[in-house]
Chains A and B, each alone.
Chain A
């Protein structure tokens, strides 16, 4: 009987679709579990009138604006902690784990690498600028700008015959 060669797995850059899906799962988890209690505090501020009405309202209420800034900073730190801790400890967030994606560097990623590659999650200036820059980089080079800067990448196992 002829023996077939064992299938091999190699690491390849994660597909755009899987990355977006993994990120969406992570955001969903964060939204439900981590940000849920904080969202309750702002339920009346973020009005039904949409972003324009909310912005006008916040501009005319500096005290509430300050509270919102504090809340944004806290939410940002919690989300950053989620991505940083999990990528540092297990190389995967929940979303990435479900889709078999993981983060790697040249060696094991360090705290600073994990922190810096996820800094875009903080919903405050100047980090919000990355919300435009990162998808563009991801679309054209399949690596985010912060991944390039931190010398890390998100990969997946691909079977080769």
Chain B
């Protein structure tokens, strides 16, 4: 018998200690795996920030979603018989056409019910992804659509001329340095690049027309690159219902006859990625604060 402390003190301390240890282990396990440790019947796959094909744990690589990660989540959710529906939780301005097409194709291949929820933004490539889901839910004020493609780069040829820098061009293959920032585009090169952008635009329009069951010509009319508010998008047939994530859950419960339990699929959090995220988010917030201040100043001047 422990003489120094009372019997019940030792018992209570041991139980409390084990309880705390258990909570810490549960937290660690939840963060150790890419996908949910278990539980839930609706997989929530977040698509946030710019959609790219791959991301790194770099501290500058925050605010993006990689198709590589999303595809793994989709596969995990599809393989899990407990998962009855997949919810794409979207807040993204779009991104790489390849990455978005990869995700959209994977979503369309699923045999499970899919639903996309658009928060602030579901534009361009992010809308392409959303269109592949069975149902799209957006807030009346969400930014939706922006069916268009752009490609740009900064041409520093003039700057180089100004500072007496010379671009020595040695190429094998007429267009090998097409798009080089060190020289001006020729008319034929501009045409080539424009044709590529137009081609991607065509593929984008085809995908939206097919996914949304809209006539191609109708989508062409809408695909000017302009964005629509959620309420406008609903009228145009780009969105199925207006609402929030809770409305989406309600819709799933009604259509599937289940009590929905959401389980968010998250990327594995390593110490480095956790640190990167914290630093990145802090930097973003600082930048966002300065930016908002400048915008407010500008508005004051011009309004």
**A contacts, CB < 8 Å to B:** 29, 33-38, 40-45, 47, 57, 60-61, 63-64, 67-68, 70-71, 74, 78, 81-82, 85-86, 89-94, 97
Contact = CB atoms under 8 A, between A and B. Distances in A.
Nearest to A29: B15
A71 B2 CA distance: 32
Contact of B14 (A40, A41, A85): A85
Given A33-B19, A78-B21, A89-B2, A45 B11 contact: no
B60 to A, nearest CB: 32
B213 interface: no
B26 A92 contact: no
A33 B14 CA distance: 11
Contacts of B40: 44
B8 A97 contact: yes
Interface in B117-154: none
Contacts of A40: 26, 39
B261 A44 contact: yes
Interface of B: 1-2, 7-8, 10-11, 14-16, 18-19, 21-23, 25-26, 29-30, 33, 37-41, 76, 79-82, 261, 263
Contacts of B263: 44
B22 A35 contact: yes
B125 to A, nearest CB: 30
Contact of B38 (A43, A81, A85, A94): A43
B42 to A, nearest CB: 10
Given A41-B29, A45-B82, A67-B37, A90 B10 contact: yes
A74 B82 contact: no
Contacts of A33: 15-16, 18-19, 22
Given A44-B261, A91-B1, A34 B22 contact: yes
Contacts of A57: 81-82
Given A64-B80, A97-B7, 9 more contacts: A33-B22, A36-B22, A37-B19, A42-B38, A44-B82, A57-B81, A89-B14, A90-B2, A92-B11
Given A36-B22, A89-B2, A90-B1, A41 B30 contact: yes
A40 B37 CA distance: 10
Contacts of B10: 86, 89-90
A35 B22 CA distance: 7
B39 A82 contact: no
A103 B130 CA distance: 63
Contacts of A34: 15, 18-19, 22
Nearest to A74: B25
Contacts of A68: 38
B39 A44 contact: yes
Nearest to A92: B7
A144 B8 CA distance: 26
Contacts of B25: 37-38, 74, 78
Nearest to A91: B1
Nearest to A75: B22
Contacts of A47: 82
Contacts of B22: 33-38, 78
A33 B258 CA distance: 30
B80 to A, nearest CB: 7
B11 A44 contact: no
B210 to A, nearest CB: 33
Contacts of A97: 7-8, 11
Contacts of A67: 29, 33, 37-38
